Structure 1
Amino acid sequence: MGIRQCGKTFIVQHFAAAHYKTVVYINFIKQPERINAFVGSKDVNVILLNLSAQIQGVSFTPGDTCFIFDEIQECPEARTSLKFFKEDGRFDVIATGSLLGVQGYGDEKKKQRRRLVELKEPGINSVPVGSEDIIEMFPLDFEEFLWANGLSEDVVETLRKCYREEKPVPAGIHVAMKQFLNLYVTIGGLPEPINVFLKTNNMNEVSKAYKSILKEYRDDMVKYAPDKDKPHIRECFNSIPKQLAKDNKKFQYNKVKPGGRSDTYLGSLQWLEDAGIICRCYNTDITGLPMEGNAKDNVFKVYTADIGLLVEMLGPGVRADILQGNLGGFKGAIYENLMADTLHKKEQNLYYFQKDSGMELDFLVRINGECVPLEVKAKTAQAKSVKTVLNHPEKYKVKHVIKFGDFNIGRDGQLLTLPNYMQFLLNLEPEEIVLESIDVDAVNALASEIIKE
């Protein structure tokens, strides 16, 4: 599952074609008549019989046939059938769906029909718990963007080595990587705009691709959103650039519309988040773990889940400004959103530190069991809050800070500085926890002796 247009259909078709002799592809939006094959009995043999009547010339060979159920949110009956396909065991099934459909949004008339079916046949449209391996897919991150542009793995490995050893990146590679990062910021990680750029080298064509994608997202806002939220979702979405343009980037409802209130717009924000279009970064005024326990649910920033969406929303000419380095007062917001993009694609929850005194750190992450602040600068600006935190370790419990900006690798005490293009190298994998096994036999034997005594 994943945001629309992130490449789900392409990747599963590519995988299936490489590993199976027969691929049966069903798209429940383009081929709604296929839904009928799943209505009623969920016996796999019955489903296969129904499909063979609809699809001429296809044969289903156990072990060599893969079914792809695309846009499965349009056919809950097909999703329920996954349990029975798994129990049957003869065929592999890959299902894809947008986050919206998977998480239960949809046309009210369809929901009513499904509720009627559910009343007649309890459990017929239930989610097959334990029968799915769920993978969330994201647009390309910066490393994948480098692959798409044909950059050698040797270059990426050189960056990794410099990162591990905290040694400056060679000048030629450093300059080239800054150029690639500017390209990534202007194009983003959605596959279609990237492919358009690789074919045409034309940013106007990239913009056309984004306009088409944004239209599809806005169509979803009408198709899937609850009626009470439909009038407000676009207002929330369209307000993101001006929310990030403020010195205080906290999301404010009255910036969506004068007099705006949380009870009006909270559902709309949740919809956008469930759609995978935005990600929220929650405030905490404590630099400690666990961050989730210290986060304030009602104080947050909102970023686009892919940097390309924000750049398109900023309007014509912004891509040229980015490539030429003329970002004006908005450069901080763009590079903050780039960091949010990176962390989101690493499947991280987002947090930032801010106190009423004005102290602020852009992001907080967990690295090797510690809370590590991340500061993000478009250029080389000094961060006063970083100095304050590092100068008072007993108060803030911070041992290390990483600052990203327009410079090479360097270290000043507990402050590690990295170029912005190295954000993707952050290792945010949970630390391994290996426990010694308990000698159960010894415990049992000891208990037996005690009882005898």
Structure 2
Amino acid sequence: MFRRKAYDQLVEWKRSSGGRTAMLIEGARRVGKSTIAEEFARNEYNSYALVDFTKVGDEFRRTLLDTRGDLDSFFLYLSATLGVTLTERKSLVIFDEVQLFPPAREFIKHLVADGRYDFIETGSLISINENVKDILIPSEEESMKMGPLDFEEFLWAMGEEALAQMITNSFASGSPLPDSLHRKASRLWREYVLVGGMPQSVAAYAPNRDMAAADRAKRMVLKIYREDIEKYGGMAAKRIRAVFNAIPGQLSKHEKRLVYTQVENGSRSRDFMTAFSWMREAATVNLCALAEDPSIGLALSADDATVKCYMADTGLLSTMAFSASGSALPEVYRQVLLGADGVNEGMLAENAVAQQLTASGHDLYFYSKSSSIREERMEIDFLIIRPYPDAAMKPRVSPVEVKSGKRYSTVSLDKFHAKFTQRAGEEYVLHPRQMSQDGIRRFLPLYMSFCL
């Protein structure tokens, strides 16, 4: 069991809710939702009952429906069936993969009101309309999203807790890491963009740094995701599959926004709205929308038809882009691990930063300005909202540029600052070099992106 930030969120939920709400853990398949729910139950309660809806039979489902008006009988049946002793206010009940039996989610309202035990639900594709259209969503349900490991969690998994803390301290203080630790952190970041944050991939890699084993684990996850598209995608499955398979090619271009006609001849943005909605809810991608008029309300000027589509996990992207089905380690993997100058890592670096920003709670937006006048053209990779020290820590729009190489320009940042001086705050350039600062522009190592 890897140390996960979601665990701390569950601890805080237990402390603050006092049994007055249930917690729904949402996320993509295979990100560790069930594992963390059971680990939390094992450590924080005297006993727990795990109801896995991928395994329970029709009899259990009928009994749940039949005993909704008699909770004493339901809890007695639950204890007898699972062989557990439930203690009032000291036991937890987990409804695992609850989307497979939506009435159980609706039942949460009555279970929470009863007050005897705490309740956690886990679910994949849980928010898609087909899973909830016939039930009343309980107001007593809180929710939290769980994704792949971010880079800080990856460092924890690799036994580098002290390095992770030093990176956090370095970001807060503005003092660069010692050169030896900077090189070490940079090497681990390169490993991360290839391995990614899917728990089974990290588990395969961590003991012996076996990249081939990690790749096999990632291919299994990708197989599951593609099967889910066919099984649950419905009428939109063809376009969902087309977008999913087109992601590496779209991100490898200089302008990484999705070009619909390259995905499907003659198509328009509105043809893909259902596919995007499905993929967003399935949490297999991170969509980054154009903010046409950047302000602290980025969503107010969002153009949801103009998007960049990132994989939710960069390790999965690396396998889609570079790995064949065989056991041989792709040569590009070796070049990335060595930090070879000839490798174009822009696709992986930008996707990995998108993954860190999402894990930190940011919605993803970018800014782009097309013009026949060269001086007006610009593109900013990401826009985030952060407190600005020069404005009494009031929130401002912070532009973020991702640079995978050591030689680059910051022309777009210069233009953005000139155009949006009154709205903009600190600027961030994420690059392979050491930390430095030039006025309001902070140059941060790529491995520090999880701190934003």
In the TM superposition, what are the counterparts of 1:1-400 in structure 2 within 5 Å? 1-33=26-58, 34-43=60-69, 44-52=71-79, 54-55=81-82, 57-98=83-124, 100-106=125-131, 125-129=135-139, 131-153=140-162, 155-225=163-233, 227-316=234-323, 317=330, 318-326=332-340, 330-357=344-371, 358-368=377-387, 369-380=395-406, 381-390=408-417, 392=418, 397-400=423-426
Could you tell me how far 1:396 is from its partner in structure 2?
6.6
Larger radius of gyration: 1
Judged with a 3 Å threshold, the aligned counterparts in structure 2 of structure 1 residues 202 and 158 are, in CA distance, closer, same or farther, namely closer
Q: RMSD value over aligned CA atoms?
A: 2.1
Which amino acid counterpart does residue 362 of structure 1 have in structure 2? D
The TM-score with structure 1 as length reference comes to 0.84
Q: Cα deviations across residues 339-368 of structure 1 (Å, max 9, x unaligned)?
A: 111111112111111101331111111111
Asked whether the equivalents of residues 393 and 399 of structure 1 are also in contact (C-alpha less than 8 Å), the reply is no
Greater CA deviation, 311-320 or 208-217? 311-320
Q: Which amino acid aligns with 2:401?
A: E
- The TM-score, its normalising length taken from structure 2, stands at 0.84
| 1:393, distance to aligned residue in structure 2 (A) | 6.0
Q: CA deviation at 1:92?
A: 1.5
CA deviations on 1:73-113 (whole Å, 9 max, x unpaired) are 11112111111111111111211111x1343335xxxx9xx
CA contact 2:335–2:343 (8 Å) conserved in 1? no
Identity of aligned residues (%): 31
Q: Structure 2 CA distance, aligned partners of 1:325 and 1:284?
A: 33
> How has the CA–CA distance of structure 1 residues 410 and 140 changed in structure 2, closer, same or farther, with 3 Å as cutoff?
same
Letter of the structure 2 residue corresponding to residue 250 of structure 1: R
SS in 2 for 1:352: strand
The CA distance in 2 between the partners of 1:22 and 1:167, in whole Å, is 46
Matched residue SS, 1:101: coil
* Residues 58 and 265 of structure 1, relative CA distance in 2, 3 Å threshold: same
Deviations 1:255-310 (CA, angstroms, capped at 9, x unpaired) = 11222333433211221111001111111243433211122122111111111121
- Tell me the residue number matched to 1:439: none
Deviations 1:207-236 (A, max 9, x none): 1101111111112112222x2112221111
Letter in 1 for 2:380: L
* Worse-superposed segment, 20-29 or 60-69: 60-69
Number of corresponding residues: 405
Q: Which residue of 1 aligns with 2:20?
A: none
Structure with the largest fraction of strand: 2
Unaligned runs of 5+ in 1: 116-124, 427-453
Q: Distance in 2 between matches of 1:308 and 1:85?
A: 39
- CA deviations on 1:306-338 (whole Å, 9 max, x unpaired) are 111211110221433321334857422211111
Question: Aligned pair in 2 of structure 1 residues 157, 208: CA closer, same or farther (>3 Å)?
Answer: closer
